[in-house]
Chains A and B, each alone.
Chain A
Amino acid sequence: METGLIALGAGLAVGLSALATGYAQARIGAAAMGAIAEKPELAGRAILLVAIPETLVILGFAVAAMIVLLLGG
């Protein structure tokens, strides 16, 4: 039971942050594609902007790892 709850907590930490990242990337990506269509030279910066929200899911991964390592024994 306890192990299951730990796994659930770790999964939620990654899953919810991944959803947030996906939402943010969808909004930024759509805007970036519009910008690239008008100015193709912005492709590099667009990738950079799209990649920024990934930090959210990485932090979620860090929290999940801490949950597993600290609570999972």
Chain B
Amino acid sequence: MIRRLVHLQLLGAQEDLISTVESLQRLGCAEVVAAPHGAGFSAVEPRPTGTDPDAPEGLLARVQRLLDLAPVAPADPRSPRAPSATSAVSGAKAATGQTNATRLSARHSAQHVARLSEGVDLRAATEPDLALLELEVDVLLGSQAALAEERDRLAHYVEILGELEALVPELGTLSDAELGVLGLAMMALVLDDPAGMVVSLLDAQLRHQFGESYLLRSTGEGRSRGCLLVVPRDRLGEAESLVGSDQINQISVPDTYAHLSLHMTVVRMRGRLAAVEGELTASQTDLATVWLHALPSLHAAARALRVIGERDAAVSTAELTSRTFLLRCWTPAERRADMVRQLSDDGIEGVAVLDAPSIEVPGPPPVELSGRAAWAPYRKLVGFLSWPSPGSLDPSVLLALALPFLFGVMVGDVVYGAALLGLGWWLRRRATGSPSGPGVLDDAGRVLMAGGAWAVIWGVLFGEALGSLGNTLGMPALWFYRGGPAALEPLLLFALALGWSHIVLGLSLGLYTALRRGDRHRVLEVGGTLVALVSLTGLVAAVMWGAPTWVVLTTALTALAGLVTTSSVHGPLGALLGPLELIGTVGNVLSYLRIAAVGLASVYLANVANELATELPLLIGLLVATFLHLLNLALAAFSPMVQALRLHYVEFFSKFHDGEGRAFRPLGAYGAPKPDPVQPVDNPSPGIPLRVRTADATLER
């Protein structure tokens, strides 16, 4: 149902402006709009808007950045997942059993960020706490990145050097200095050798250059191979220039290990690797503790900042004189009295609520669709395409009735329907505990439950349970079984009948809307198409069933009359556009054949699963059948919904839904502001810009 909205003007003293907007936020049913072009007035320059990082929008961006960095799981203390974060923290601490002296105190951080949401003086309280939290999170994330990089690098070194050490145990214990005494130098290399050629080529070149005065050992096969090269120390330069190829990387260990023996290098690196793992875990524990304490406050701060942002945006639309403000808003007609009461309850007595003169109404009103809560998901689905214009029909009710029905016809299986019903119920149950409110999961659950229920009903009519299994086990089809050899014809006719009914309903609604608006062209166009379609159907039926000639002639003439009527509104092009429109409408009816096509595909896939289960060995057959039925169920949850939605968007809505409206967006979308009375700081005098201070922002007018 489309609610009637009225345009009101709120007139009051400037010191009441912010508290008036906050009162409207609490009321939650008024959309503030700017003055129509050229109709407004403002004697005072609007407040400049900039990119101040301490302004509410700047603070919100910083809070949002932290929320984006945070893990999803412990998002809110109300979330059922939050305890898992606590256990993760304690588990990680128990695992490490150590405290890093350099890490920042999580408790210290928590004490600061807990003030974020107290909201008494949001800007003053938020900024320093937020800066501290940002610093803490950035430091921890930075150190984790550095530790993770060091861990990966060390693990790579340890793997290669460990293998090389095993090749030359007698040399591996000698330090760089000891090798120097012997007049030797050792190089560790990594060769990119996918074809296994580089090592042998290197060996040949070394032999050519050094004769027998070198030692080359390499690890086993593989794309990346480690090599250890020992050469006379005085010829180290020659060896380095020889191995300077693209496919050979010399391992340059950090300076800490530079002069150690190979064995000691590996031992020290393994020790450091274990320490790095511990530091990384400790850092992750610290960060998890920070998130655990900070996230509830961050979420609360984000909500509070959004409320302030919404309020500031609304305040900026007000028209101002030196002492007064005028605020324009749309509100449902029946809520006008509530608005007056809310302002009074909030102690704002000096604001007058007036009906706007018709010449000052800023264009067509927004549109609010209302009705049962169960239909809310369908209103969103309508908005997903476009919003109805004022004075048109609410398509969400029709969508709520027909979408699950068409979905159920396509799925038409008792077991699949029950599974989808259960899935929808689970989604809704899960959505109930979501920190951000029911939202999309609840909507999807509602739609799936309705569709699943219809799928069960149609499953009973078609006698289907897991495809042919129900039929095989003796489940009777109350109408006809879709997998049977004679099912194609009745199924196609049924799909066409559904399509015809839906399109005729759409055209009838289009005709009704056009008549209500007094749109003569639209009445002729839609009415003509409707008459032509109905008559054409009658003509086909009359010919098929051998009706008397006068019936055939009458229906043919009526169809022609409808076509001429439709064509007449298109002027000289009518001879072309009229028939095209009729063909398009017939095509729309034929498009409903997809109901039969998708349904048959689902039935035959289920039947294939059942056949394979009987043909293959028992266990394998059961596994294959289960997999195929699950696949079919996944397809059944998605494909019929998309097809049913498309039938509405393309075929049905195009007959009556203009989609030229805009949604009603009342203040209070992010919640109501906390009671926070406005305190005039300076005693205003006529002609002097007024300074109004709220707890979180200061506005100068």
Residues of chain A at the chain B interface (Cβ within 8 Å): 43-45, 47-48, 51-52, 54-55, 58-59, 61-62, 65, 68-69
CB distance from A6 to the nearest CB of B (A): 13
How far, in whole Å, are A55 and B597 apart by their CA atoms in the complex?
12
Contact A52 B385 (CB under 8 A): no
Give the residue of B385, B489, B597 whose beta carbon is less than 8 angstroms from that of A58.
B597
Q: A61-B594, A65-B596 are in contact. List 15 more A-B contacts (CB 8 A).
A: A44-B384, A45-B385, A47-B642, A47-B649, A48-B646, A48-B649, A48-B650, A51-B646, A55-B591, A58-B591, A58-B593, A61-B593, A61-B596, A61-B597, A68-B488
How far, in whole Å, are A52 and B591 apart by their CA atoms in the complex?
10
Contact A58 B650 (CB under 8 A): no
How far, in whole Å, are A69 and B130 apart by their CA atoms in the complex?
72
Contact A48 B385 (CB under 8 A): yes
CB distance from A72 to the nearest CB of B (A): 10
Contact B593 A44 (CB under 8 A): no
Give the residue of A43, A51, A52, A58 whose beta carbon is less than 8 angstroms from that of B590.
A58
Asked if B120 is an interface residue, CB under 8 A from chain A, the answer is no
Asked if B317 is an interface residue, CB under 8 A from chain A, the answer is no
How far, in whole Å, are A43 and B384 apart by their CA atoms in the complex?
7
By a CB distance below 8 angstroms, the chain A residues around B384 are: 43-44
Residues of chain B at the chain A interface (Cβ within 8 Å): 383-386, 488-489, 492, 587, 590-591, 593-594, 596-597, 642, 645-646, 649-650
CB distance from A73 to the nearest CB of B (A): 11
By a CB distance below 8 angstroms, the chain B residues around A47 are: 642, 645-646, 649
Q: What residue in chain B is nearest A60 (Cβ atoms)?
A: B597
Contact A55 B488 (CB under 8 A): no
How far, in whole Å, are A63 and B489 apart by their CA atoms in the complex?
13
Contact A69 B488 (CB under 8 A): yes
How far, in whole Å, are A59 and B646 apart by their CA atoms in the complex?
16
Contact B642 A62 (CB under 8 A): no
Give the residue of A51, A52, A58 whose beta carbon is less than 8 angstroms from that of B642.
A51
How far, in whole Å, are A45 and B650 apart by their CA atoms in the complex?
10
How far, in whole Å, are A49 and B94 apart by their CA atoms in the complex?
56
What are 19 A-to-B residue pairs whose CB atoms are below 8 Å? A43-B384, A44-B383, A44-B384, A47-B642, A47-B649, A48-B649, A48-B650, A51-B650, A52-B650, A54-B594, A54-B646, A58-B590, A58-B594, A58-B597, A59-B590, A65-B488, A65-B492, A68-B488, A69-B489
| Interface class of chain A by DSSP | helix
By a CB distance below 8 angstroms, the chain A residues around B597 are: 58, 61
How far, in whole Å, are A44 and B385 apart by their CA atoms in the complex?
4
How far, in whole Å, are A52 and B642 apart by their CA atoms in the complex?
12
By a CB distance below 8 angstroms, the chain A residues around B650 are: 48, 51-52
Q: What residue in chain A is nearest B384 (Cβ atoms)?
A: A44
By a CB distance below 8 angstroms, the chain A residues around B383 are: 44
By a CB distance below 8 angstroms, the chain A residues around B386 are: 44-45
Q: What residue in chain B is nearest A49 (Cβ atoms)?
A: B650
Contact B649 A51 (CB under 8 A): yes
CB distance from B55 to the nearest CB of A (A): 26
How far, in whole Å, are A48 and B642 apart by their CA atoms in the complex?
10
Q: What residue in chain A is nearest B496 (Cβ atoms)?
A: A62
Contact B385 A55 (CB under 8 A): no
How far, in whole Å, are A69 and B597 apart by their CA atoms in the complex?
15
How far, in whole Å, are A51 and B651 apart by their CA atoms in the complex?
11
How far, in whole Å, are A51 and B649 apart by their CA atoms in the complex?
10
CB distance from B506 to the nearest CB of A (A): 15
Q: What residue in chain A is nearest B492 (Cβ atoms)?
A: A65
CB distance from A51 to the nearest CB of B (A): 4
CB distance from A47 to the nearest CB of B (A): 7
How far, in whole Å, are A52 and B593 apart by their CA atoms in the complex?
14
How far, in whole Å, are A43 and B385 apart by their CA atoms in the complex?
8
* Top 3 closest pairs, chain A to chain B, by CB: A44-B384, A51-B646, A44-B385
By a CB distance below 8 angstroms, the chain B residues around A65 are: 488, 492, 593, 596
How far, in whole Å, are A69 and B591 apart by their CA atoms in the complex?
19
Given contacts A44-B386, A68-B488, contact A62 B593 (CB under 8 A): yes
CB distance from A62 to the nearest CB of B (A): 5
By a CB distance below 8 angstroms, the chain A residues around B488 are: 65, 68-69
Q: What residue in chain B is nearest A68 (Cβ atoms)?
A: B488
By a CB distance below 8 angstroms, the chain B residues around A44 are: 383-386, 649
How far, in whole Å, are A69 and B492 apart by their CA atoms in the complex?
11
How far, in whole Å, are A48 and B650 apart by their CA atoms in the complex?
7
CB distance from B648 to the nearest CB of A (A): 10
Q: What residue in chain A is nearest B653 (Cβ atoms)?
A: A48
By a CB distance below 8 angstroms, the chain B residues around A55 are: 587, 590-591
Contact A62 B590 (CB under 8 A): yes
How far, in whole Å, are A9 and B228 apart by their CA atoms in the complex?
69
Could you say which of A43, A45, A62 has the most chain B C-beta atoms within 10 Å of its C-beta?
A62
CB distance from B85 to the nearest CB of A (A): 31
How far, in whole Å, are A65 and B490 apart by their CA atoms in the complex?
12
CB distance from B447 to the nearest CB of A (A): 16
Q: What residue in chain B is nearest A43 (Cβ atoms)?
A: B384
By a CB distance below 8 angstroms, the chain B residues around A62 are: 492, 590, 593
By a CB distance below 8 angstroms, the chain B residues around A52 are: 650
How far, in whole Å, are A16 and B646 apart by their CA atoms in the complex?
22
Q: What residue in chain B is nearest A14 (Cβ atoms)?
A: B597
How far, in whole Å, are A54 and B385 apart by their CA atoms in the complex?
18
How far, in whole Å, are A38 and B631 apart by their CA atoms in the complex?
34
CB distance from B562 to the nearest CB of A (A): 23
